[in-house]
Amino acid sequence: MSPTPAALRALAHRTLARQPSVQAALNSMGFLQADPIRAPARAQDLTLMQRVRGYRAGDLERLYPTLDAEEDMLPNYGFVTREVQALLHPRELPETRLEREHPGLLEGVRALAGERGELHPRDVAAAVGRGRVVNAWGGQSAASTRALDTLHRRGELRVTRRVGGVRLYGPAPHLAALRAQPLPTPQRLRGAVHLLAALYGPLPEASLGYLVGLSRFGLPHLHGDLRSAFRVAVREELTGAEAGGLRYVWPADWNPDAAPTPRGVRIVGPFDPLVWDRRRFAHLHGWTYRLEAYTPAEKRQLGYYALPVFQAERAVGWANLKGEAGELRAELHWVPGVRETAALRKGVEAELGRYRRFLGLEARES
C-alpha cells in the first residue's frame, strides 16, 4: 500500500529529532551544510538550533576544535564526522590552473604548514605572496588562499578552527593515514549513497539521484561508480513506493506508517534537510518554496531569506527574521487557505522565543 503524503511528511520530520549535544547531532546527521549568509544566522546554526536543545548561534564554531568534526564536501560544503570523511578520502583531483600558473606555490604552503602547524591565510600571503587568481565565484582571491583551499580539498590540510569567520588550516595526519590505507571503494560508495538517503529521505528517487550527482564534488574520481552504487541501492537496498505520481525512496528500516505526527511550530532554515529538496517540498506541501537571496529585490516573492514555517508536519507559511537593535523583527506570511488560529499564534510566539534565545536577543516589550 502506498504511503499517504501525510505519512511521508511525518516521516521526513524524523530529521528534526532532538539531540543531547552538538556532537550527537553531527553523529546523527553525518553531514551538515554550511552557508555564510546570516539572516538571522548562518545555515549551520539554524539547522543545529532545531536539533540541539539550548543551542546558541556560533556554538558550532566555538566548539569545533573539541568536536569529532571536519569541514569537507558531501554533497555541498559543510561539516562531517571523521567516520563520514573516511568515505571521501583519498580524493584524487587533476592538476589545477593555480598549479600551472604558480608552480611551486603548493609546495611552499606545504612546507610552511610543516613548520608552523597552523596557518592563517593572512600569514601565508605574507610568507609566499604570488598575486591573485579567479575564484570559484568569478571574483578575485589571493593565490595563497586558493592554495590553502586546494590542499584542504585534497586532504593534505584540514580546517583547525575559525577566527572571525576566517578558516585556519593545519596538517591532517588522519587523512594521510587514509591515503596509505583507504576504505574499500564499494564501502565508500555504498556509505555515501545511504548517508544521503537517510539524511534527506524520504525523497523522490529523482531527487536522490540529483544529490548523488552533486556528490561528484566530494568523490570526483568515483563519480561514475557512485551513480552505479545509487542504482544498486534503489533496486536492492532502499525501500520505495509511489505516492501522488512520484516514486519515493527511504532506508529499508524506516516505516512510514509508524512515524508519529510532529507537534508545535518550527521555523527552519532554507538548507535544512527538511526543506532542502524543493521537488519534495512542493509535492508534499502544495506550494513552491524558494531561496531568493540571489534574486533581484524587485523580483522576490517570499523575501531575501525566507524560512519555512511548519505547524505539525505541514508547511503553512514562511517567515523573514532579522535581529535588529537587540530585538527580533519577524514578518510572517501564510499560504492561501491557512487560518491563523490561536494555536498557530501561540506556537509561533513560542518558536520566536526560541529564536530570541538562540540569537541572544531580549524579548520585545509589548
| Position 365 in a domain | no
In this structure, what are the phi and psi dihedrals at residue 349, rounded to the nearest 5 degrees?
-65, -40
If one counts the domains in the chain, the total is 2
**Structure confidence at residue 229 (pLDDT):** 97
Mean pLDDT of 328-353: 97
pLDDT at 71 > cutoff 70: yes
Domain span at 296: 260-359
Query: What grid cell was written down for 351?
Result: 518558536
Which DSSP symbol is given to 65? G
**Who's near 46: CB < 8 A, 6+ residues apart?**
268, 269, 271, 272, 307
pLDDT at 132 > cutoff 90: no
**Structure confidence at residue 129 (pLDDT):** 66
| Position 139 in a domain | yes
Residue 180: pLDDT band (50, 70, 90) is very high
Candidate from 1-10, 99-108, 179-188, 356-365 with smallest mean pLDDT? 356-365
Query: What grid cell was written down for 246?
Result: 512520484
226-267 pLDDT, tens digit per residue, is: 999 999 999 999 999 999 999 999 999 999 988 999 999 999
pLDDT at 83 > cutoff 90: yes
Residue 33: pLDDT band (50, 70, 90) is very high
CATH of the domain at 154: 1.10.10.10
Residue 135: pLDDT band (50, 70, 90) is very low
Residue 130: pLDDT band (50, 70, 90) is low
Residue 151: pLDDT band (50, 70, 90) is very high
Residue 325: pLDDT band (50, 70, 90) is confident
Out of 145, 179, 213, pick the residue that ends a domain.
179
**Structure confidence at residue 139 (pLDDT):** 44
Mean residue pLDDT of the chain comes to 93
**Who's near 346: CB < 8 A, 6+ residues apart?**
none
Residue 141: pLDDT band (50, 70, 90) is low
| Position 108 in a domain | yes
Out of 136, 158, 179, pick the residue that ends a domain.
179
* Contact yes or no for 111/146 (Cβ under 8 A): no
pLDDT at 364 > cutoff 50: no
| Position 302 in a domain | yes
Residue 349 CA neighbour count, 13 Å, CB half:
10
Which residues face 243 on adjacent strands? 246
**Structure confidence at residue 212 (pLDDT):** 96
**Percent with pLDDT over 90 in the chain:** 87
* Contact yes or no for 84/78 (Cβ under 8 A): no
Asked if residue 265 and residue 174 are part of one domain, the reply reads no
**Structure confidence at residue 245 (pLDDT):** 92
DSSP, residue by residue, 89-145: -S---PPPHHHHHSTTHHHHHHHHHHHHSSB-HHHHHHHH---EEE-TTSSEEEHHH
| Position 39 in a domain | no
Out of 179, 209, 225, pick the residue that ends a domain.
179
295-315 pLDDT, tens digit per residue, is: 999 999 999 999 999 999 999
| Position 244 in a domain | no
pTM of structure: 0.93
Residue 138: pLDDT band (50, 70, 90) is very low
| Position 321 in a domain | yes
pLDDT at 137 > cutoff 50: no
**Structure confidence at residue 1 (pLDDT):** 72
Between CA 196 and CA 212 the distance in angstroms is 8
Element (H, E) at 332: strand 327-334
Candidate from 37-46, 77-86, 123-132, 179-188 with smallest mean pLDDT? 123-132
Candidate from 64-68, 152-156, 229-233, 358-362 with smallest mean pLDDT? 358-362
| Position 151 in a domain | yes
For residue 186, what are the CA distances in angstroms to 3, 230, 253? 31, 11, 21
Asked if residue 174 and residue 264 are part of one domain, the reply reads no
